[in-house]
A and B are shown apart, each in its own frame.
Chain A
Amino acid sequence: MKNKKLNAGLMLTAIMLLTASPIWAQTITTEAPRNWYLTDTTFWILIAVAAILFYVIYALAEVVIWGGQKKINEMKNKGGNLKSLVILAITLLATSNLHAQAVEVATETAKTSFWKSDYLPIYILIAIEIGVISYLALMLMQLSKAEQIASGVKHETWIAKLWDKWNYKVPIEREDELIIEDHDYDGIHELDNSMPPWLQYIFFFTIGFAIVYLWYYHLGGGLTQEEEYEASVKKAEIEMAAYLSSAAASYDENTVILSTDGAVLANGKTTFNNYCATCHRTDGGGDAGPNLTDDYWIHGGKINDLFKTVKYGVPGKAMAAWEGILNPKQIFEVTNYIKSMHGTNPVNPKAPEGNMYVEGAAVTDTLLTPTDTLAKDTLSVAVVK
């Protein structure tokens, strides 16, 4: 009879898991490569949720397992333990099924951003919840254990003692003394126990917390939601700027690419006017240095070559090495600005020098004479994202 009930429960769980797993599998596998960050975080949250469930079910199991049994003494027999093990196994199975897939995904991807501060409250909350639910579970278990003790089964642990100390001032044998006379409502009596001290402490703590909270947000330094918003936008701007400069820091003569992005060109123009215009003129027409708007380049017209020239300079010539003054992002910007000046035909330019360069042509270092008129403005457009 008892086993039948258990079997029914088992079957049900099994059916549930079977029905559930394809859905999970689908959700996770299809989205995995793109949402790695999300999956990674969710994976950790999942562990916490699973842990919560573990405790809840364990506590419930402790209470319920004994449901079919008639005598307290039977509690200690193998059946009882076996059953709780089975329940725990089911719980673990149910959750590990999910873990297994999540782990797969998680291991493929970088394990960053777990402690990303934006999500910290979730982790703290889950930690607290686990604590609370463990406490509840403990409460249920201890209540059961206290019962064992009361019915003569000696099994008093230090936790049981602590539990009693925390909740009961008077042992159950002396409960009669606590029954309040004159309190009998349809056979329901009331005891003169005091509030459990821990509950009182929680109450006092929350009142203190509330006062501090009020003070902090209305008299102390707490931000209003609008100020919080402004702060988060500022923070994001700084982060983005940092990202962009660090992303640009990875630019070198080998990886630099063409960009027509407005911000890039605007920054490049500033840099150009500050550092380059002295020799090449503001309009790039050339003065001490060569003309930068025509089709001819002394040290190569490819963006990579330009980058190299700006960065290292030309030993023995007037062109300086700028890498100590300009950061790679600035060099990236300024080279792109220079490329954007191509074909602008400034007035009174310096005569062409060097070799002709056609953007996008297969062979870029072909020697051509300055008189060649085939040069076309075929600047290819590559936008930096």
Chain B
Amino acid sequence: MDYVKVSYDNKIVKQFALATVFWGIIGMTVGLWIALELVFPQLNMGVPQLSFGRDRPIHTNAVIFAFVGNGIFMGVYYSLQRLCKAPMFSKFLSNLHFWSWQLIIVLAALSLSMGITTGKEYAELEWPIDILITLVWVVFGINMMGTIIKRRERHIYVGIWFYIATLVTVAMLHIVNSLELPVSLFKSYSIYAGVQDALVQWWYGHNAVAFFLTTPYLGLMYYFLPKAANRPVYSYKLSIVHFWTLIFLYIWAGPHHLLYTALPHWAQTLGTVFSIMLIAPSWGGMVNGLLTLRGAWDKVREDVVLKFMVVAVTAYGMSTFEGTMLSLKNVNAIGHFTDWIVAHVHIGALGWNGFLTFGILYWLIPRMWRTTLYSKSAANFHFWIGTLGILVYAVPMYWGGFTQALMWKDFNAEGQLSYTFLETSTQLKGMYALRSIGGTLYLIGVFMMAWNLWKTAAQGSFLAEEEVEVPEMPRTYNKPKGEFWHRPLERRPIQFMIVALIMVIIGGVIELVPTFLIKSNIPTISSVQPYTPLELQGRDIYVREGCYTCHSQMVRPFRSEVVRYGEYSKAGEFVYDHPFQWGSKRTGPDLAREGVGHLKKTDAWHYMHMLDPRQVSSGSIMPAYPWLHDSEVNMDMIPAKIRAMQKLGVPYPEGYDQIATEDYLKQADGIVANMKADKEIESPNTAEIVALIAYLQRLGVDINTETNLQNQAKK
């Protein structure tokens, strides 16, 4: 057998490792910051860049795409070269990938803090960055598939299967969900509206969890866990079964984020049943990981790397099980919109992604710097404080979630709601405080790790190129007799990729296409009208300030919600909503009926409330938005926005863009006059707050007009 010398590029791994730790600290610090803002709402100090609505997307994007993202690339670039016995396909592409990914992260942080957002959760980045992400993903794809093709290993390992599935699925999800119509360099509208936008968004959102936070990390687990434990993988058959069932079933589960909403019933059911069937496939990964440790549990006791990995894998199993439970209708009815969900995702993020990343880092850094870990006791302490941090974070959030759900739904015997929304949110302040303590503990651990790894690197010497001799792969392959059926596919990475893509396309197509094509899925309501130019502008401000991070616009068909907010939401109400703003969390009350019924407030009330929420409703944890009262709307954009909406199918009359500005000012003058008459408030008609008030006053009006007319007709 011929041997060749190859050299594995460790430098790119080092770069991604540094970026992982760096962005991890940034992302978690922002998380702590916004956690504290829920306890001390004054913390934003009237600065838009520091307010919850803008910083929460920074937190989620930073931990998902910057911390975990760099973690994925770190692990992939290290393991792929070794599993393929080949250096990366192109060093240039590796470097291009690294630097452009960091550029994306910086642009993301800047743009989100400036309020440049599409308003779709975990996909908030605007269209130029979306394009950049697509290009960088292609660079990564070429580099990865190129390496795989040029491999010196006949078959591709299970870890690589997961990398390939990640590659194709994330590309598909990102492109389909990010289709948007640009209005300017910094503003675009989703091409989907309402129910359809919601379905696409949560098909994406749920599978961002599946194919960005789960499958690549399972791939990493399949490399680093057996390596660290020096044990064979427990079951090859289990790998095959759980890989294919996982990627096939996962893609269907998105609608479980939309149970009891205006999404068609059949789509909700599909979301639920596929989530249920997902338990065993996702547990397959946990079981294969834990059983791989058979015969190595003495090492788990000694090795901090394995400790982190064991807890990570267990946390993974717990949170996937919990996810399935939350997909059951009756559980979802209680858990959705509450802090329970926040607890649930943080078990996954802090436990599974965080701890697996830490385990890999503690394993990788001493190896690449050819030394031993600087302080074992510091690493053990990190393990402890991290575990405690997770618990101190999760318990108050679970408790808070149950409290919220019970208070929201509680009626007294006379059929009245027992608690106002404000009472339910002030009740949770203690839990929020405790949660931020948990987050602090966890973050302290990360700082300790950064210091420990730094010291480790300082005492070792970095091996930038790892030279090894590997056997050349023979040109021909003699298939052994009785070969396992899956084996041939493992020799054909391109075919493997295609089969994986087909698997993930099936579920998406079956759920998305009928929702788009069959009209009966979204019954139209004749009284629902497009937004006026002023309301449209106000809606853009609503999106910009991230109001959807705390307020839903989806009254579910429950007695408690109908009594609290008004008539439950219908699919036809949202046909002009590009993007939809249903939200996923009720830190504040639902706003779908804010402009009608008993929720209706005066224009002046909104003006005062946005200026200082606590003056108007004492004890509120809503931040103040004083900048809206001072900033003026860029009126030049109004016609362009109307034209964009027309292109998306919103039925403004032809040529309406020419008179839109006039209409805008007319409606704004009305609101200004109202506020003057009511509370002697002086405001320019082009102030942002006026547009936002117009939007809030519009919410729920359309469907209400219809019911009003019906009622009048009866009388």
A288 close to chain B: CB less than 8 A: no
Question: Is B307's CB under 8 angstroms from A67's CB?
Answer: yes
Q: Quick one: which of B233, B245, B330 contacts A191, CB cutoff 8 A?
A: B233
Question: Which residue in A5, A189, A239 is a CB contact (below 8 Å) of B232?
Answer: A189
**In this assembly, does A70 line the interface, its C-beta being within 8 Å of a C-beta of chain B?**
yes
- A147 within 8 A of partner (CB): yes
Bound Cα distance A65, B281 (Å): 31
Task: Give 1 or 0 for each of B388-415: 1 = CB within 8 Å of chain A CB.
Answer: 1001100100110011011101110111
- CB atoms of B235 and A49 under 8 A apart: no
Would you call A233 and B283 a contact (CB within 8 A)? Answer: no
Interface positions, chain A 18-60, Cβ under 8 Å from B, are: 19-20, 23-24, 26-27, 31, 35, 37-38, 41-42, 45-46, 49, 53, 56-57, 59-60
Stretch of B142-150, B285-293, B612-620 at the chain-chain interface: B285-293
Q: Report which of A68, A190, A226 forms a contact with B233, defined as CB distance below 8 A.
A: A190
When distances are taken between beta carbons in the complex, the residues of chain A under 8 Å from B310 are 63, 140
| CB-based contact A53/B298 at 8 Å | no
Q: Identify which of A16, A42, A214 contacts B403 (C-beta below 8 A).
A: A42
- Nearest B residue to A74 via CB reads B301
Bound together, the chains give a CA A146 to CA B85 distance in angstroms of 35
Contact indicator B236/A183 (Cβ below 8 Å): yes
Contact B294 A185 (CB under 8 A): no
* Chain B: minimal CB distance from A3 (Å): 12
Please report which residues of chain A, range 158-198, place their CB below 8 angstroms from some CB of chain B when the two chains form the complex: 167-168, 172, 175, 179-180, 182-183, 185-196
Q: Which residues of B contact A243 (CB under 8 A)?
A: 413-414
| Chain A residues, CB < 8 A from B157 | 185, 188
Contact B381 A5 (CB under 8 A): yes
Chain B residues, CB < 8 A from A200: 280
Chain B CB count within 10 A is highest, among A1, A70, A196, for A196
CB-based contact A38/B392 at 8 Å: no
Check B407–A38 contact: CB distance below 8 A.
yes
B297 touches A (CB below 8 Å) = yes
Answer yes or no: B82 CB below 8 A from chain A CBs: yes
CB within 8 Å for A27 and B298 given contacts A12-B388, A213-B269, A236-B415: no
Within 8 Å of chain B (Cβ to Cβ): is A202? Answer: yes
Q: Are A191 and B283 in contact (CB under 8 A)?
A: no
**Contact present for B377 and A228 (CB under 8 Å):** no
Q: Could you show 23 A-B contacts with beta carbons less than 8 Å apart?
A: A12-B384, A12-B388, A35-B427, A42-B402, A45-B399, A57-B391, A60-B314, A64-B301, A64-B383, A119-B334, A121-B328, A129-B322, A185-B157, A186-B223, A188-B227, A190-B158, A191-B232, A193-B237, A199-B287, A202-B280, A228-B557, A236-B415, A244-B414
Contacts of B406 in A (CB 8 A): 38, 41-42, 119
Q: Which residues of A contact B429 (CB under 8 A)?
A: 27
B104 at the A/B interface (Cβ < 8 Å)? no
**Interface presence of B437 (CB below 8 A):** yes
B273 touches A199 (CB 8 A): no
* Distance in angstroms between the alpha carbons of A98 and B297 in the assembled complex: 35
Q: Does B568 contact A (CB under 8 A)?
A: yes
- The residue in chain B whose Cβ has the minimal distance to the Cβ of A16 is B392
Interface of B is mostly: helix
Check if A194 sits within 8 Å of B237, measured CB to CB. yes
A180, B597: Cα distance in complex, Å: 69
- Smallest CB–CB gap between B305 and chain A, Å? 11
CB proximity to A under 8 Å, residues B505-551: none
Q: Indicate if the CB atoms of B307 and A70 lie closer than 8 Å.
A: no
| Interface: B434 (CB within 8 A) | yes
A195-B241, A226-B557, A229-B562 known; A189-B279 Cβ under 8 A: no
Listed residue (A19, A150, A199) with the most chain B CB atoms within 10 angstroms of its CB: A199
Interchain CB contact under 8 A, A143 and B297: yes
A23 touches B430 (CB 8 A): yes
**How would residues 135 to 160 of chain A score, 1 for a CB under 8 Å from any chain B CB and 0 otherwise?**
01001100110110011000000000
A-B contact count (CB 8 A): 254
Q: Please count how many residues in chain B sit with their CB below 8 Å of the partner chain's CB atoms.
A: 105
Q: Which 8 A-B pairs have the closest CB atoms?
A: A203-B280, A66-B301, A210-B273, A229-B557, A189-B232, A27-B430, A147-B297, A193-B235
Decide: A23 near B294, CB < 8 A? Known: A185-B153, A193-B237, A225-B265.
no
Given contacts A53-B395, A179-B232, contact A196 B287 (CB under 8 A): yes
Asked, given contacts A121-B330, A209-B276, A232-B559, whether A20 binds B434 with beta carbons under 8 Å apart, the answer is: yes
Please state if A187 and B269 are interface contacts (CB–CB under 8 Å): no
Most buried by B among A186, A226, A240: A186
Residues of chain A within 8 A of B26, CB atoms compared? none
A377-B407 Cα distance, complex, nearest whole Å: 45
Q: Does B325 contact A (CB under 8 A)?
A: yes
> For A64, what are the chain B residues with a Cβ–Cβ distance below 8 Å?
301, 307, 383-384
Residue A266 interfacial (CB < 8 Å):
no
Asked if B290 and A139 make an inter-chain contact with CB atoms under 8 angstroms apart, the answer reads yes
Asked if B7 is at the interface of the complex by the 8 Å CB criterion, the answer is: no
Q: Taking CB as reference atom, which chain A residue is nearest B381?
A: A8
Given contacts A125-B331, A210-B277, contact A168 B294 (CB under 8 A): yes
Identify 20 new A-B residue pairs, CB closer than 8 A, beyond the known A41-B402, A190-B232: A5-B381, A8-B384, A9-B388, A12-B388, A38-B410, A63-B301, A66-B301, A128-B325, A144-B297, A180-B236, A185-B157, A188-B227, A189-B232, A190-B235, A192-B235, A203-B279, A203-B281, A206-B276, A236-B559, A240-B413
Residue in A143, A180, A211 whose beta carbon sits within 8 Å of that of B294 in the complex: A143
Residue in B closest to A151 when the chains form the complex, CB atoms: B298
A312 within 8 A of B: no
* Contact among B223, B237, B265 for A188, CB-based, below 8 A: B223
A93 to B333, CA, bound (A): 33
